[in-house]
A and B are shown apart, each in its own frame.
Chain A
C-alpha cells in the first residue's frame, strides 16, 4: 500500500511545474486571452514533446498511466493552462486508445505525440447531457462512404483542432447501442464552426454543425455502431482528468488566499487571525486534501483496472465539483475586493473550476452513477 507518488512521479510533477512556470506564467495566460486560438502552438508543441503522453511508445508516447496524467492536469490547473491538451490527449486520445483501432491510432497518435496534431472530441449536443441518451447526431453508411448530420455544442478547442472525433448514432438506435466515432478533418465540406464566448475566458469552444458531411468509411474509429464502451471509458478518464485540473485550481486558490490572509490587516490585525477567516481556510484545506485522495485513488483505479474504477471516477468528479466550488469561491471571499478584480489572477481559477463543473458530468450525473455502480455491486470492499 503506497498512496504517495513514487520518485518518477515526483520528478514528472517537478518537470511539468518547471516547464509551466517558465513557459506559461499568468502573464502568458493573459496574453492568450486576446488571441484567436486561445493558446500558443509553440508552447503546446514543446510541452507535448516532453514525452509525457499516455500513449504506447510505438506511437511516440511515453506509455504513462492515468496517475501521471492526473499529475500533469493538476499542474495545468494551477496555471491555469490555456490550450488543447485536455481535448487532444484525454478526450480524443482516450477515445482512440479505448477503441482498440490500431489503424486509427497509427494514423493520428504519432503526430499527436510530436505536437503537430491537435484533436478534440465532439460529444455534447443541444441538451448538454453527458450520456449516450443525449446523442442525436446521425451517421449513415452507404458502401465506402459515411454521411454525418447534426449539431454539437461546447466542443473544446474545435477551431484549432486538425481532426474532430464526432460521436453520432445510427438512425433509429438508442442508448449506447448504435453509437459510432467518426474522425472528421476540420476542413471537410459541410462542417461549420460557431465560436462560443465563455465565462472562463481561457477556453475556446465552438458550436459545430455537420450538414451532410461525406467521408470515406475508413474514418470510422473502431467498429461502426460499437463505440459505446470506448466512450464510457473515455468519459471515466475525462471525469478523473477534469477533477485533477480542478484540484490544481483549488490548491492554487487556497495558497493565494492563505498568503493574503497572512498579509492583509484590518481592525489592527491580520485577517487570518480571525476565526471566521481561519476556519474558512481550514475547511478549504480539508476539501483540497480530500480531493487529492479522491482524484489519485480514481486515477490509480483506472490504471489498475480496479472493479470500482467507474465508481471512483464518479466519486472524484462529484467530490471535486463540490470542493472546487467551495475552495475557489471562498478564496474570492477571503481576498475581498481585490479577489473580485480582473487584475488579480484569482478569477482564472474560479472560472476554470466553474467551467469544468458542468462538463464531463455534473454532480447530479455522477451521484446517479455512483448509486448505479453500488447497486450493481461494482465496489471495492476492503477484501479486494
Chain B
C-alpha cells in the first residue's frame, strides 16, 4: 500500500489548478454557444477525452490525471463541458465498438462539441428492465426505419445526435434482439418534448420517433449485439468518477461548516448544539470513506483493471450517501434548507448544481433523489452485487419463466 500522490501527479494538479484559475469564466454562461466555447477551451487545453487514444484526439492520460482534472474542476467551480454524455459514454462506445468510418466522422466532433450527443436508452416501459425496450428499428433496404418512444433523455433538446438502443429482432429472446444505432436528431420524424422534473428544472425530455429513416451504416457493432455494447457503456457510468462526486459533497460540507458557525437557533450557534455536532461528525466520517473507496478504485484503474460488477458498490455507495447527507444538511438548516432563492448571503449555497445551474441547498437535495434511480437504480445494483459478486442464484422472474416455457415449446435455444 502507498497512498501518496506521486510528484508527477502533484505537479499535474498544480498545472491544472493554475490553468483553471486563469480560464474559468467569471460569469455564468448564458447561451449554448457560450457553453460550447468553454467546452472547446477545455478540449484545447487537453482536459477532455484525456484517456482516449491519441489517434482519436485523446492524450492517453492515466486515470489519476483524469480524476485530478475532475476534482480540480469542481474545486474551481468550473462549468461542466456541454457534451457530457458524448464524452463519457458515446466517445468510448465508438472507440471500442464503432467502425473506422464512424470514428472518423464523429469522435473529433464530440471532443469539440460540434456534435452534442444524448443517450436514447430508457422507455416508458423499459426502465430498470431496459432489455424489454420496444422502440423498433426495421431494416428497409440500406436503411433502418425507427418507430417508438424514448424517455428520461438527458439533454435531448440540445442534441445533434443520439446513441440509441432499438429492437431489431422481435422474435429473438429480449436481450438478443437489440441493436445499437446512431441517430441524427434532426432527421424528419424525431420529436423532442422537454419534461419538467421534481427539481423544477428541465434537463430531461421524452423523444418520439415516427418512421425515422437512418442509414444502415449507422449500426454500431454487430446486428442484435446492442445489449452487450450497452453493458460496457453502463459500466463507464459506474465507478470511475466517484472522486469528483466526493469533492462536490465536500464543497457543500465546507460551506455548511461556515453556516453553522454563524447561524443561531434557540439562542445557540448551530455548531454548539451537540446533536448537530454528532451529525456533522458522522457525515464527514461517511464522506471520508467515500474518498478512501474512490482512491481504491482509482488505484485499480491505474493498474489497467476495468471496473467490473464491483463498480456497483461505488454507484450504490455514493448515490445512497448523497441522499443521506442531503437529508442531514436540510435537517440542520431548517426552513433555510428549503428556500430556493433569496437566501441571506451567510446561508446561501454558492455551489452550482450537477447541471451547473445556480444552486440552492434544496436543489441539491432534490437531485440526490435522482442519483439512486438513474444509471441503474439501487435495487438493480443490489441484484448485480448479489448475483455477480456474491454468486447468489438468480431470482425467479416472470420473464425468465415465460422465456423458458417458450424455449421448451419450440425446442429452440433461447438464452436469457
Give the interface of A toward B (CB within 8 A).
1-6, 9, 67, 258, 261-262, 269-270, 272-275, 278-279, 281-283, 285-286, 289-290, 292-294, 296-297, 299-301, 304, 311-312, 314-315, 318-319, 363-364, 366-371, 374-375, 382-384
- List the B side residues contacting A67 at CB < 8 Å: 1
Closest to A299 in B: B1
Q: Is the CB of B299 within 8 A of A1?
A: yes
- List the A side residues contacting B4 at CB < 8 Å: 1, 304
Q: Is the CB of A281 within 8 A of B292?
A: no
Q: Is the CB of B385 within 8 A of A294?
A: no
Closest to B68 in A: A382
- List the B side residues contacting A272 at CB < 8 Å: 386, 390, 392-393
A3 contacts which of B282, B295, B381, B385 (Cβ < 8 Å)? B295
Interface centre among B4, B243, B285, B313 (most CB of A within 10 A): B285
B382 contacts which of A1, A279, A315 (Cβ < 8 Å)? A279
- B265 at interface, CB cutoff 8 A: no
- List the B side residues contacting A3 at CB < 8 Å: 1, 3, 295-296, 298-300
17 A/B residue pairs, CB under 8 Å, sorted by A: A3-B298, A3-B299, A4-B300, A269-B393, A272-B390, A275-B382, A278-B382, A281-B392, A289-B310, A297-B292, A314-B285, A315-B285, A319-B286, A367-B278, A369-B281, A370-B288, A383-B10
B391 contacts which of A262, A304, A319, A367 (Cβ < 8 Å)? A262
Question: A370-B285, A374-B284 are known contacts. Are A382 and B247 too (CB-CB below 8 A)?
Answer: yes
Main secondary structure of the interface of A (DSSP, over half): helix
Contacts between the two chains (Cβ within 8 Å), count: 161
Nearest CB of chain B from residue A238's CB, rounded to whole Å: 17
Given contacts A1-B299, A374-B284, 12 further A-B contacts (CB under 8 A): A1-B5, A269-B396, A272-B390, A278-B386, A279-B382, A281-B385, A283-B382, A304-B4, A315-B285, A366-B285, A382-B13, A383-B13
Give the interface of B toward A (CB within 8 A).
1-6, 9-10, 13, 64, 68, 71, 243, 247, 257, 277-278, 280-282, 284-286, 288-289, 292-293, 295-296, 298-300, 302, 310, 313, 316-317, 379, 381-383, 385-387, 389-396
- List the B side residues contacting A274 at CB < 8 Å: 395
- List the B side residues contacting A269 at CB < 8 Å: 393, 396
Nearest CB of chain B from residue A284's CB, rounded to whole Å: 9
Instruction: Give the complex CA separation of A1 and B63 in angstroms.
Output: 11
Question: A5-B1, A319-B285 are known contacts. Are A368 and B296 too (CB-CB below 8 A)?
Answer: no
Instruction: Give the complex CA separation of A90 and B317 in angstroms.
Output: 31
- List the A side residues contacting B396 at CB < 8 Å: 269, 273
- List the B side residues contacting A319 at CB < 8 Å: 285-286, 289
